[in-house]
């Protein structure tokens, strides 16, 4: 079964957001006739972030955009993070000044009138 707008389907872990201890709220409100094991996810977590403060001032910062970064299924960024999330993988992101400078792709400065 294809996902929304022809995007590929991925198994996603999680459960009803009302359940205590569930770290990922995800639910499907698909038609009752949909008996496929892949049901469309109609709502749930979209951005998850976790930051661990470690010994010696180190930080382990991770995040995931569960729906991907781009809505168009033809884009390479449409389901890149959804695939990671399906495999219970997250993206490490820079947290400290040196990490941010090391990973900087582009800097944009906005000024008002």
Domain boundaries, the chain: 4-103
Q: What is the pLDDT of residues 3-42, one digit of tens each?
A: 555 666 777 776 666 656 666 766 666 656 556 655 666 6
In a 3-state reduction of DSSP, which class is residue 37? coil
Q: How far apart are CA 23 and CA 28, in angstroms?
A: 17
| Predicted model pTM | 0.63
Burial class (CB within 10 angstroms; exposed 0-12, middle 13-18, buried 19+) of 18? exposed
Separation CA 70–CA 78 (nearest Å): 4
Per residue in 34-51, pLDDT (tens digit) is 566 556 666 677 788 889
């Amino acid at each position: 079964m294809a996902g929304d707008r022809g995007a590929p389907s991925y198994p996603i872990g999680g459960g009803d957001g009302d359940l205590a201890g569930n770290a990922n709220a995800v639910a499907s409100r698909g038609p009752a006739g949909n008996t496929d094991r892949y049901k469309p996810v109609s709502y749930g977590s979209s951005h998850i972030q976790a930051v661990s403060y470690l010994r010696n001032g180190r930080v382990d910062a991770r995040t995931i955009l569960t729906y991907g970064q781009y809505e168009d299924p033809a884009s390479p960024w449409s389901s890149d993070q959804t695939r990671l999330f399906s495999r219970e993988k997250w993206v490490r992101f820079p947290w400290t000044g040196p990490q941010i400078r090391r990973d900087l792709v582009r800097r944009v400065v906005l000024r008002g009138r």
